[in-house]
Amino acid sequence: MLTSKEQSSVTPSIPHKLEEHATHSPSNKLAQALSSPHQEFSDLANPLLIGLSGPSSSGKTTLARQLKRILPNTSILYQDDFYLEDSQIPCEVETHQVQDWDCVEALDISALRDALSHLKEHGNIPQLKSIQNQNTVGSGGEIESAIIDELRKHVLETVPSMKERRIVIVDGFLLFANNTKHLMSMFDIKLFLRTSFSDAKTRRESRTGYVTLEGFWEDPPFYVDDIVWPNYVKEHAFLFKNGDVEGDFDEDVCKSIGIKGMPKNCSNDVVRLVRWAVKSITEYIEDPKNGTGNPSSGPDS
């Protein structure tokens, strides 16, 4: 498990699966949110969807929140807000017989897809009570205001049309996985972060736990080694040469599905990471055909 979410003048119909998800998820009142008027950004159609994925504790939420400070008209939708209820989380039975919060089956992927479809069709997203907003992220993720201002100015000067477009960043650890490939076509821009096993383990184990729909979850001592990381490798090895998730991206595979992989020199450098992401986004908007899928393109220094 890794670590929200307006309305046109005519209320759109609520997708059946999305309504069902709202009925069964106390914290995610999706149906109510979709049927409640919300004026912010209501005149901005054709939203730009940015998928931001990668392993647990790779810096996705930190990056999403910094991008929200830079990009105009931006909201964040968290995949973590589509977890099933606690009692429905599957158990890992081969070794430890504990709940597995880091597998596809722990998420209501159908409800997430319905939310993304609704967003693309109507240009708005539900106002959710986000459990992710109640969880902490790692320290050291805030960038000084001068850099944020510089990047915001650069974005607006480079792509003035962004002022007129709604942007939604979707933050999730299973957006481009083996078992969620059907989600990939929903995103205009696909950014994939990377981290080493040792860094992921250190960051994840430094967290006190996670707010869930019905309570609170703390990782057992073995959780990263035996559940989190093996799940990540299983779902994402196809993006890397020889399946080595700590090695180089398979550029042919990434380009074929439009994924931009984070350069290694962005690891543990949030400023460099944000600059790379901003460059990737502006390049796409300037030229959608050539602005994605080149993992080796690094950030400006």
| Annotated active-site residue in 80, 102, 171, 188 | 80
Calpha distance 231→180 (Å, rounded): 13
Burial class (CB in 10 A: 0-12, 13-18, 19+), 1: buried
Q: Which helix (H) or strand (E) is 50 found in, with range?
A: strand 48-53
Composition of the chain by helix, strand, coil, percent to 5: 45, 10, 45
Q: Which two tokens stand for residue 279?
A: 């460059």
Calpha distance 267→162 (Å, rounded): 28
Q: Which helix (H) or strand (E) is 109 found in, with range?
A: helix 109-122
Q: Is 244 a catalytic residue?
A: no
Amino acid identity for residue 187 in this structure = F
Burial class (CB in 10 A: 0-12, 13-18, 19+), 110: middle
| DSSP β-bridge partners for residue 48 | 167
Query: Based on C-alpha coordinates, what's the Rg of the chain?
Result: 18
Give me the active site residues, please.
80
